[in-house]
A = this chain, B = another copy of it.
Amino acid sequence: MSEKVVLTYGTFDLFHIGHLNLLRRLRQLGDRLLVGVSTDEFSKLKGKQPIISFTDRAEIIRALRCVDGVFPEECWEQKAGDIRKHCVSVFGMGSDWEGRFDELKAYCEVIYLPRTEGISSTEIRKTLKILDRAHTRELKQALDLVSSIVERLD
């Protein structure tokens, strides 16, 4: 029997445990896991502005034991071609994409897997923002103080 190939795509910015959990679960669905990493240009087209460059994001995904191959994702249209080219049996994405790739069922099995709760690149950005608030808060206090002076002068 030939090996079962699983395929997924993503930006994988600020690599975190949610990415790893998803990739591991996908890997368990078959014998080989291929990952299309979104280029910087395609990420922007998807409305994302990656902090980390494509080269570095792809290199990190390639370094994982659960990943067997990495290639660039450059456009929405390449998926059907990639599935045929790599003899893919399962196309899997996080459940945030639920239903979005159902047209690929014409070529292979399409699966949406649950995401890890409470972690995402967006969450990491939020946490860092909170830590950066002190600076903003001081400025806000100064502004309040000056405002109160202006009020008393009126």
Closest chain B residue to A153 by CB distance? Answer: B153
Interface of A is mostly: helix
The answer to whether A14 and B135 have CB atoms under 8 Å apart is: no
User: Which residues of B sit under 8 angstroms from A146, Cβ to Cβ?
Assistant: 143, 146-147, 150
Binds B, one of A33-41, A58-66, A78-86, A104-112: A58-66
Closest chain B residue to A17 by CB distance? Answer: B56
Question: Is A87 part of the binding interface, using a Cβ–Cβ cutoff of 8 Å?
Answer: no
Complex Cα gap A116–B140 (Å):
37
The answer to whether A52 and B16 have CB atoms under 8 Å apart is: yes
Question: Is A149 part of the binding interface, using a Cβ–Cβ cutoff of 8 Å?
Answer: yes
Binds B, one of A1-9, A69-77, A93-101, A125-133: A125-133
User: Which residues of B sit under 8 angstroms from A63, Cβ to Cβ?
Assistant: 20, 24, 64-66
User: Which residues of B sit under 8 angstroms from A147, Cβ to Cβ?
Assistant: 146
10 closest pairs, A vs B, by CB?
Answer: A17-B56, A146-B146, A143-B143, A65-B65, A153-B153, A128-B128, A139-B139, A15-B15, A136-B136, A63-B64
